Each structure stands twice: as C-alpha cells, then as structure tokens.
C-alpha cells in the first residue's frame, strides 16, 4: 500500500473501509435470526447434488433437521442465536467510534483484530467438542481470517492519518 499524505483522502478511505466492516458485521449477524428459513432455502437448492455439493447438502440437511426439531420442541434454545446476532450488531456499533475519530479510537481496530485471531482457536476447540466437520470449521475460521484483512488495511491507514495530522494522544 502506498503512503497517502492527504488527510481528507485518508479519512475517506478509512471511513469507506469502516463502513464496509460495519455492514459486514450487521449482515452476518442478521443471518443468525432466520436460520430455519435460510436452511430451508439452502437445502432446497442443494437437494439432489452429488460429490462435494452432495456432502454439503448432507451437512446442511442435518443442521436443518436439528433446527426444525429444536424449534418445534425447544424454541428457547434458539435464543442463543438471537444473542449471537445481537452481539454482531453491538460490535458493529462500536465501529462508529472509528468513523467519528479514527486515530483516537484505533484501539477498536486492535481489539477487533484480536477477536478475529481468537476465532481460530475457538473454532478448533468448540468444533472438536461439538463434532463439527473439518470443512465447516474451515468456513468458520475464514470469518476471522477475512475479517482480519480489512482491519489490517484500516490500521495501516489510521497510522498514516496519525502521522499526517500530527495527532497527539490526549490523556483520559
């Protein structure tokens, strides 16, 4: 990435990346609410598939069956998914601080990067305990890996902005 010296241009880039990250968090969180509907659509689309897609169908069909049974008999269990969705939205809201004052609130980016790295051991441990197939653990790990990419770029531009604007850290 090349060095940018224009403060306004840096702010535009930082805000664009931050808005992208906020949107990604909100969308990924919102998908945790309608799981039964989403799985119905996915299994309908994949039904009759063979090979790798057939394996994917089998996995989604098993999840769909579990969600149907859970919702029919123990709907309160799905409350955990509602909290997962809510947590994504709350994390997205934290990034409003980066939109408003990127240099002052750069700690939010560092915190999010730590969370992205933390996804991987969580997936490995919980995936093993919950008997999640390896291929799905890789999908879940990708959220941490792909989340880290825009955050690294964002941190780079925030550092440039701090240099260009002669930012001085204010004590609390």
Within 8 A by CB and 6+ apart from 109, the residues are: 98, 151, 154, 155, 158
Domain total in the chain? 1
- Residue 48, sorted as left (phi over 0), alpha (psi -120 to 50) or beta, turns out to be left
Give the Cβ contact number of residue 88 at 10 Å: 19
In a domain? residue 155: yes
In a domain? residue 125: yes
What is the reported pLDDT for 169? 63
In a domain? residue 52: no
Within 8 A by CB and 6+ apart from 36, the residues are: 64, 67, 68, 71
pLDDT per position as a tens digit, 86-112:
999 999 999 999 999 999 999 999 999
In a domain? residue 156: yes
| Whole-structure pTM value | 0.87
The count of C-alpha atoms lying within 13 angstroms of the C-alpha of 15, restricted to the half-sphere facing its C-beta, is 9
Q: Which residues of 94-103 are buried (b: 16+ CB within 10 A; e: fewer)?
A: ebebbeeebb
Distance between CA atoms of 4 and 34, rounded to whole angstroms? Answer: 42
In a domain? residue 118: yes
What is the reported pLDDT for 1? 75
Q: Could you tell me the residue range of the domain that residue 124 belongs to?
A: 7-33+79-164
What is the reported pLDDT for 8? 92
In a domain? residue 149: yes
In a domain? residue 51: no
> By C-alpha distance, which of 162, 25, 35, 166 is closest to 101?
162
In a domain? residue 68: no
Give residue 4's pLDDT band: very low, low, confident or very high (50, 70, 90): confident
């Amino acid at each position: 990435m090349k060095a940018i010296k224009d403060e306004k241009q840096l702010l535009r880039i930082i805000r664009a990346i931050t808005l992208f990250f906020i949107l990604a968090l909100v969308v990924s969180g919102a998908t945790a609410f309608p799981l039964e509907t989403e799985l119905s659509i996915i299994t309908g689309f994949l039904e009759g598939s063979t090979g790798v897609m057939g394996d994917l169908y089998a996995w989604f069909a098993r999840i769909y069956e579990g969600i149907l049974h859970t919702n029919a008999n123990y709907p309160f269990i799905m409350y955990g998914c509602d909290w997962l969705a809510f947590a994504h939205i709350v994390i997205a809201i934290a990034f409003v601080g980066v939109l408003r004052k990127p240099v002052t609130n750069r700690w939010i980016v560092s915190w999010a990067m730590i969370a992205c790295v933390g996804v991987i051991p969580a997936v490995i441990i919980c995936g093993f305990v919950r008997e999640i197939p390896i291929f799905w653990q890789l999908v879940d790990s990708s959220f941490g890996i792909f989340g880290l990419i825009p955050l690294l770029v964002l941190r780079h531009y925030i550092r440039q902005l701090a240099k260009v604007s002669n930012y001085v850290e204010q004590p609390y």
